[in-house]
Amino acid sequence: MAGISDRKTKTKTLNLRLPIHASHLPQHPHLRTHRSPRKKTPKSKGGSEPATSTLPAAAAATNGPRLAHPRTVRPGPEAPPNGPPQSIRPSLGSTGDFYDVAFKVMLVGDSGVGKTCLLVRFKDGAFLAGTFISTVGIDFRNKVLDVDGMKVKLQIWDTAGQERFRSVTHAYYRDAHALLLLYDITNKDSFDNIQAWLTEIQEYAQQDVVLMLLGNKVDSTQDRVVKREDGEKLAKEYGLPFMETSARTGLNVDLAFTAIAKELKQRSAKAPSEPRFRLHDYVKREGRGVSCCRL
């Protein structure tokens, strides 16, 4: 297995890869625009990393990923209160897209697990092959989905997995309606760090945030070191919906975001007339295995 630290990496601003308009970027004081050397992905065990504790309340949850522990919310300078989902009335987004309701989704997980690639695959239908360019700070892309006749806008925040940007990311958790937590099936450390990420989420995110666990790079069958069953077991332990994905082939990528959008839309409905959407069941039913797709 090629460890993350073994790879040829380069760090530069995400803007170079995601050509979003500069005016869309939050003026966060921690946002960096300079290149800096890549550091090894932090380990959760020991050191200054978040303690690796379990989330018993989350584990007990059977109907979703709610983290029931009381927590201290530490909003950052750019984190407005996370109220209910935005306006149900049709709105015109800054990119000219009409939407009925909008939500914020955050991608989190160790550096190199494929967060940026997953977002680019979902937004543009392409895969960013080649030199790994690590995200600096945080950035976002918008995509409007048609969910059962309603235009649902997802504002998807792509965070930097490197430890040195962690304080930047913390400031945005509170504003997120949903989190996609990724590990890399070819990198055991990234899987072992999931518990630490959950602890961090428990501390900084909203209590009712929608959370899904994704094991990415499932196309790399030769390099797999985390079994699918281990991912499923961990997800079950914490009451999380789980899927394996590939930003390279696109396997389950649209499904992951669509599932999140469906769940958020359902939650935003004031008087839901339709049958209750069940995120766990939907993901289990619709998720596809590796064998379905060739490279």
Ligand X SMILES: Nc1nc2c(ncn2[C@@H]2O[C@H](COP(=O)(O)OP(=O)(O)OP(=O)(O)O)[C@@H](O)[C@H]2O)c(=O)[nH]1
The answer to whether the CB of 144 falls within 8 A of the CB of 36 is no
Q: Tell me, residue by residue from 88 to 117, as one string, x for binding to ligand X by CB under 6 A and - for no binding.
A: -----------------------xxxxxxx
Residues 218-237 interacting with ligand X (rule: CB under 6 A): 219-220
Interface with ligand X, residue 187, by CB under 6 A: no
How is residue 133 annotated by DSSP?
E
CB of 111 to ligand X, least distance (A): 3
Q: How many CB atoms within 10 Å of residue 32?
A: 16
Of 49, 88, 61, 295, which is closest to residue 192 (Cα–Cα)?
49
Burial 15-30 (b: 16+ CB within 10 A, else e): beebeeeeeebbebeb
C-beta of residue 250 within 8 angstroms of C-beta of residue 125? yes
Binding mask 84-123 for Mg ion (x = CB under 5 A): -------------------------------xx-------
The token duo for 60 is 């007990």
154 Cα distance to chain centroid: 12
Smallest gap from Cβ 116 to Mg ion, in A, equals: 3
The contact pattern for ligand X, residues 133-172, with x = CB under 6 A and - = no contact, is -xx------------------------xxx----------
By DSSP bridging, strand 150-159 and strand 101-109 are: parallel
Among 41, 135, 187, 245, which residue sits at the site for Mg ion (rule: CB under 5 A)? 135
**Residue numbers at the binding site for Mg ion (CB under 5 A):** 115-116, 135
**Residue numbers at the binding site for ligand X (CB under 6 A):** 111-117, 128-129, 132, 134-135, 160-162, 216-217, 219-220, 246-248
